[in-house]
Structure 1
Amino acid sequence: MITRPPTVRDAGGGGGKINRELVLSTALELIDRDGVGALSMRRLAAALDRDPMILYRHAPSKAALLDGVVETVLAQLRVDAADPDWAAQLRAVARDYRALALAHPNVVPLLVTRPLATPLALRPRGTLRPLEDILALLTRAGFSGPDALHVYRAFIGFLNGHLLNELQELVDNADETDDLLRLGLHRLPIGEFPLLRSLAHALAAYDGAAELERGLDILLTGLATTLSRPA
């Protein structure tokens, strides 16, 4: 179950007590509405009806603020490290991760890039919790520590790539009914890209949920084979 973090409205507007959780949840609201580029300490302070300098007690820099927003979103992701069916648990985590991304599409670039911008030990603890829990899930399932880390990287890399692809607009001309024209693939020379052009219908019929499940089938089947292979 995904729980909603508190917002400035929950705190009664400008008269409520300001804390880090409220600062981050309000920043998330602004990003959801206007995008990452529109977020600034001044706009955030205005939304909270506070002096901008007060915010630096809870987020000492813009980078720290963005890391905190990522932490706020990932705090809603639950991993059952004790689940005896590791593959089913990873599938459930993938579905929940996608649901969070679809609820906060403007945050997806931060989910992908912010972990790469901060050394592992300096990241907010909440952003490391899913990693720790997935490592615990996998090592209990029989993966070695290094292999569990490889699995995690492959898993998260697949999820982030899937989400970036799903949230990207593929339609070139929405008024066209022919898939080749609708996606603009007619511009590609047929002699150079025959296969890509032939897949116009499959590309136009893209279903994010179904694509996620198919990708997980391939990924988890491969991981299961790796786990069962003799040392």
Structure 2
Amino acid sequence: MYKVLLLSICISVLIQGTSQQQYQHRRQLSQSSSTSIPTSSYQVYLSDVYFNGQKVEGLSASSFKDLGYGYAKDITDVFFMGKQIKGASASSFKVLPGGWYSQDIMDVYYWGEKIEGASRSSFKVLNGHYARDIMDVFYAGKKVRGASASSFQALGDDYAKDIMDVFYAGTEVQGASASSFQVLGDGYAKDIMDVFYAGNKVQGASASSFQVLGNGYAKDLLDTYYMGKKA
């Protein structure tokens, strides 16, 4: 009996820890400031260009241009964090606001990787890792399944919604009401009925009296919560 109880406690701690790690990872991913994006560390020495101390093969020092956010180009090629982006057009390449996305005359890229199916002409960065074109919505360069591009709104803190559904980090938040949904901050959000943390429903929380306190803490009329769990 003691062994079963001990095993149950260990599993519970492991699950809670994994959930917290996932949220922290998503928070870091969602921040679009330059401090959370790799800053360029290109250096020209004699006739070569280096990135973080490693020689960048194929990058011409004479026509080298640092584009910021880890991107660079010469007269013919484009590079991200010292690696050539195959097929990218140097003459038309530009980094889009926020630094996560970029494009040339034909294609759209996320962190140096081409986004298959994205429309360059209608592509627009929204907030953090969210973007859309005339047909699709993207999060971190991947299509958001089921999202309506025409009505899609990025709300901040990795949350977003369209006319029907709510999304967190590109995944639908089950049971959330788009019409009444609002972001509270620090990973918390709510609709008219429920409270959510990192896209998951906070069990037992009162939406009408819920308040975010900061540093992962929140409260309602009866209980206090830490990272979406009763404290």
TM range (shorter): under 0.3
| Structure with the higher strand share, 1 or 2 | 2
Greater relative contact order (Cα 8 A, min sep 6): structure 1 or 2?
1
Query: TM-score scaled to structure 1, two decimals?
Result: 0.23
